[in-house]
Structures are given as structure tokens and as C-alpha cells.
Structure 1
Amino acid sequence: MRIGFFVNSIEAETATFTTTGLAFAAVVRGHDVCYVTPDDFVLRPDDRLFVKRRVPPSKRFRKAESLHSALQAEAEVEVVDVTELDVIFLRNDPSLDAADRPWAANVGAMFGRLAAERGVIVINDPGGLALAQNKLYFQDFPRAVRPETLISKSIEEIRDFVDAHSDGVILKPLQGSGGKHVFKIGTPEEANLNQIFEAVSGEGYLIAQSYLPAATQGDIRLFLMNGRPLEKEGVYAAMRRVPAKGEVRSNIHASGTAARVDITPQILEIAEMVRPKLIEDGMFLVGLDIVGDKILEINVFTPGGLGSMHELYKVDFAAAVIEAIERKITQRTVYDGRIGNSVLATL
């Protein structure tokens, strides 16, 4: 299998990223991997789609860190017809490019669609990802799994919303990820509300969500694959992300810590409620952030944490993901182009 990982940039990748873990798992299983960035597509006059890919050297890597180092220092650059790839795994975060390189934010979905039309398996499905360019996508899921939410650019609307929620409100940008510019507002009279509003509203529309008191214990990151909880060796790919003292965000890179978690029937029920929409949109690998009986976010672009889960449970979930992609290659052959990419992405 020849699999390309589409990322924001080569330089920004780290050895601990889930993408690196997935690439390493693919190499261990004998597959050829490469990396592609938003700069790297070429649609030629004859309508052939080419891609510039970075290929790590062909040698045995014993750990993900070695693969990452080789990618950064020793990768060969090749320009090939996109059909030279069997799979393109879209793993970029559009919000990271929105400010400085807005042209790059949607490149994965745009050229991913063209690659899929030429027979490449593209995951997550680019048509679904095009619908999910910001957190407004979350509002398409069942109301029962969503905290009460206001989306607005009006500070008056936000003040009224805060006033109606005695436990407080979480305020964050509609476009964004990774816990950037996330604030907890207790009352509409908070002295710094105006400053927070000015800082966050510069990024566009704001989301105000009712604060869930259970969030003090952190949230649960649960991976879904092909619409169902990712499970291997009887263990779910999940962890509790515990925020640092005095911190609202539970993101690991924001000093949150990872802990084991038991997946209850209630959590599985929540996952089942969002499954139909994820399947419809061709979302192969997804991360749910759950607090209590609500989902705070659905990460369909770059869900992370498989490395932390590997350390917690000594289970290689990344290998399970690559195995699932291998099965898609077989299914593509069986169906011989009779099903579209969005179906194949979650089959």
C-alpha cells in the first residue's frame, strides 16, 4: 500500500503527533509512506493531477522518533501522478492556516476531491471535510448530545446568554482548534469580558456554550473509526484529559494530562447517536470530546492522542487504523469503482 499523509507543513510535524504514529505503523506493516503539504498539488493541462511528495528513506525504523527524524532530514522529494498513491490521509488542521495562509486552509478538501475522482481513496472524505471547516458543523448533530449553544458576534447576545446560565459559559472562536482562545465566563459583569470579547471576536463568530461542571474533572477523548468506537484487544481508544490546576482547557499541549478511563454504556450511547451523520459524511477517523452526557467537540481533521493511549494501555491503536485502511484497498478492488469515496471511507 502506498499512503500519503497530508499535513499543514513538514516542519511543524513532531515525533509525538498521531500522524507520525500512523505513518510509523504503516511502515512497520511494510507499506510505503510519504508526506504531502498544501503547496504540493499540480493540475496539468491534460487534466492529470500530480503531487510533490516527501518520501522517507527505505530502511527499517525501530521507533516513530527515527521515522520523524528521517522525514525532516533525509526525505527525497518526488513529483508523481496522484494515482501513484493508493490512499491520501487528510491530516491537516485548517485553522492553523486560516490567518497566515488562508488559501491553504481548504486545499486538502479541494484537491482531495480531485484525487478521489481519479481513484485514490481519500480519508476522511473531502466532501465531508468541506462541510466541517468550522465548529458550526457540530450543530448538525443531534441536539441531545450538544451543550446549549449560542453562535454570535454580538456582545449583547453573549451577555444575555451568560446571564441565563448560572454555572457559567465557555467562550471560544467558531473557527479554531487546540484550545486556543478558550475562556470561561462566570457572569455578564466580569470585568474582563469586554477584553475577552475583543480578543476572540477578531477571529470571527464566537461560540458560547453552557459550562458543564463535570468539566473540572476533564473531558474524555474517544476515537471512532468507521463510525464506531475504535477498539483493540478489548480496550477502547479513549483517555480522560485532565486540565492543569486553574486551567479551563484539557488539551494535552495546554498542560493537560492523560489518564485511563472506563467507557460506560452511556458513552457508547452518545457515540451511537452521532454515528449516522459521521457515516453519511464519510468520516473514517474522528475524535469525540465528551463531558458527562454531552459532546463538546467533534474533531474530524486531526484528532490526536493515539500515542498517549498507547502508553496508557500498551495497545497499538495506530496499527488497528492502518489495518482498517488495508481492508479498504481490498474493498475497492471488490467493488471495482462501483461505490463512491464517501461510502468507501467508512466501509
Structure 2
Amino acid sequence: MRIAFLVNSIAGEASYYTTTALAMAAISAGHKVCYLTPGDFVLRADDRLFVRGTKPPSAKQKKADGFIAGLAEAALKPETIDIADFDVLFLRNDPSEDADERPWAAHVGAMFGRLAAERGIITLNDPEGLSQAQNKLYFQDFPESIRPTTLISRSIDEIRAFVAEHKQGVILKPLQGSGGRHVFKVASNKESNLNQIFEAVSGEGYLIAQSYLPDATQGDIRLFLMNGKPLQRDGSYAAFRRVPAKGEVRSNMNAAGTAEAVEITPEILRVADTVRPKLVADGMFLVGLDIVGDKILEINVFTPGGLPNMFDLYGVDFSAEIIADLERKVAIRENYGATMTNRMLATL
């Protein structure tokens, strides 16, 4: 099997990334891996789609740091490759990382992913589905029962009124973005710095105001879904609790959050089952849910991370389970050909 991973940049990849774990698991299983970035696509005059790809060393690496070092060295000598040479294109770029400095790159994954899918390459998550999920407004399409009460606006008056209605406080964050950037907790509409918070967040566009969930002080639970179902291996769920640092509202790992083992309850499984139909319909193969109590704070469909954390917590390699499922999808495509659409294959 030949797998291409689309990432924001080769230089930005790190040993603790989920993409790194997936690539290493693929190589360990005997597959060929290639990395792409948003600027690497070439659509030629004869309508053939090529990429300028980086092939990391094919030898198995025991340490992720060694893999990343080999990837960086390989990036000095990219190769031009026909997209038809790949079986799977795994879209792992985060549009929000490119939105400010490289807006042209933000939607490249969905754009060229669509072309790859049209050429018979299994493209995940499905690019048509990803094009609908370019910002957090996508979250509003899921059942109200699993969402915190939410307002989306650029009006400070609307936001003040919303805060006044929620005595336990409100979380303010940009409609677009990830990694916990510009996320604030507002306890009252009388807070003296509300205007400053509004200016900071609204500079990125629309704001989301969500009712604060008191249980969030203990952190949220990141649960991975594959093909719309909770990812499991060897009796363990691919899930962990993201615990915020002292005095911090955000539980994001890049905001000094820490990972702890967690027990998956029937309540959490009911939440996952509630979002399953739409995720399957949209072709979302690998997704990360951020859950507090019986509510979902976010649905991560672009670059859900944390697989290496769970190996440390449970000693289970969930990456191998994901690669095995890709093998299964490739076999289905070989048996059924073009009669099986990319959207169907994505979550089958």
C-alpha cells in the first residue's frame, strides 16, 4: 500500500504528532509513505495530477525523533510523483494554521483532495465533507442535545446579552482556529476587559460564545472515532483526558495541558453514537471528539491528535489499527473499483 500524508509543512512536523505515529506504523507494516505540503500539487495540461513528494527513509525506526530527522533530510530531495501511484491520500493539514500567513494554502487539501478522489485515490477524510467543515460552524449541524448553548456573532451587544443569560460564565473563541488560540472564559458581562477580549477574538472574524460547563475544570475527554465508531484495540478505547494547567481555561496539549488515562462510560458512548450518522454521511474517517459530561465542545475532523499520548498511557498502538483499516479499504476499492465512491469508502 502506498500512502501520502498531506501536512502543513515538513519543517513543522514533530515526533509527538499523530501523523508521525501513523507514518511509522505504515512503514512498520511494510507500506510505502510519502509526505506532501499544500504547495506540492501540479495539475498538468493533460489533466494528470502530480505531486512533489518527500519520501522518508523506508527503514523501520524505533524512535520518532529518528524518523523526523530522516524526513527532514529527505525533504531536501523531493520527487515528482503521479498521484495515481498512491492508494491513499490522508489529508492531515490544519487550515487554521495557514489562514493568516498563507490563506491560499488553507483549503488546498479539500481542493486537490477532490481531484485525487476523482482519479480513484482513496482520500481521507472525504474532501467534500471537509469542505463543509472549514470552521466551527460545522458543529452547529449536529443535534442540539450534545452541544452547549451557543451564540455566533460579531456584535458586542449580542455577546453581552448572552453572557448575562449564563450565570456560570461563557467561553469566547473565534469561529475559525484551533489549538486553543484566543480562547477566553468570561464570568460576567460586567467584566472590565470584555471589550479587549472581544477586540482580540473578533479580529479573526466571527466569535463563538458557548455556555461554560463547570465540569470543564477537570479537563475534557478526547475520544477518537474511526468510521463513525469509537476506536478500540485490545480492549482499550482510543481516548484520554486532557487536563488544563493550573489557572488555564484551555486543555489543549499545546497550551500546557497534560494527558491522563480515562474510563469510557455509557454516557460518553451515547454522545459518540449521537454524532455518528452525520460523520458517516460526511465521509469523516478519523475524528476526535472533545467531550465534557454529555456535551461535545469540538469535533476535530482535520488533524485530531493524541495517538502517541495513548500509547504512553495504555501501551496500545492505535496507529496500527488505523493503518490496518486503510488496508481493508484499499482491498475493497480493488474489488469494487469505481462503483464504490470515495464518500462510501471513507467510513465503510
Q: TM-score, normalised by structure 1?
A: 0.99
Deviations 1:78-118 (A, max 9, x none): 11110011101000000000011111000000000000000
Aligned to 1:13: 13
Aligned to 1:289: 290
> Structure 1 regions of 5+ residues with no counterpart?
none
8 Å contact kept, 1:159–1:188: yes
CA distance in 2 between partners of 1:332 and 1:124 (Å): 16
Deviations 1:305-333 (A, max 9, x none): 00001100000001111011110000101
8 Å contact kept, 1:56–1:70: yes
Aligned to 1:77: 78
Q: CA deviation at 1:56?
A: 1.1
Deviations 1:216-252 (A, max 9, x none): 0000000000000000000000000110111000011
Q: CA deviation at 1:74?
A: 3.2
Q: CA deviation at 1:57?
A: 2.3
SS at match of 1:181: coil
Aligned to 2:251: 250
8 Å contact kept, 1:175–1:203: yes
* Number of residue-to-residue matches in the alignment: 347
Q: TM-score, normalised by structure 2?
A: 0.99
Deviations 1:127-172 (A, max 9, x none): 0000000000000001100000000000000000000000000000
Q: CA deviation at 1:342?
A: 0.7
8 Å contact kept, 1:232–1:320: yes
8 Å contact kept, 1:24–1:63: no
Aligned to 2:188: 187
Aligned to 2:223: 222
8 Å contact kept, 2:170–2:186: yes
Aligned to 2:176: 175
SS at match of 2:339: coil
Q: CA deviation at 1:64?
A: 2.1
Of 231-240 and 336-345, deviating more is 336-345
Q: In the alignment, does 2:25 pair up with 1:44?
A: no
Of 203-212 and 253-262, deviating more is 253-262
Q: CA deviation at 1:61?
A: 1.7
Moved over 3 A (4+): none
Q: In the alignment, does 2:101 pair up with 1:109?
A: no
CA distance in 2 between partners of 1:254 and 1:33 (Å): 30
SS at match of 1:302: coil
Q: In the alignment, does 2:24 pair up with 1:28?
A: no
CA distance in 1 between partners of 2:9 and 2:337 (Å): 34
Deviations 1:253-287 (A, max 9, x none): 11111001000001000000000000000000000
CA distance in 1 between partners of 2:177 and 2:57 (Å): 34
Q: In the alignment, does 2:159 pair up with 1:158?
A: yes
Of 255-264 and 334-343, deviating more is 334-343
Amino acid at match of 2:10: I
SS at match of 1:55: coil
Q: In the alignment, does 2:206 pair up with 1:205?
A: yes
CA distance in 2 between partners of 1:290 and 1:60 (Å): 35
Amino acid at match of 1:7: V
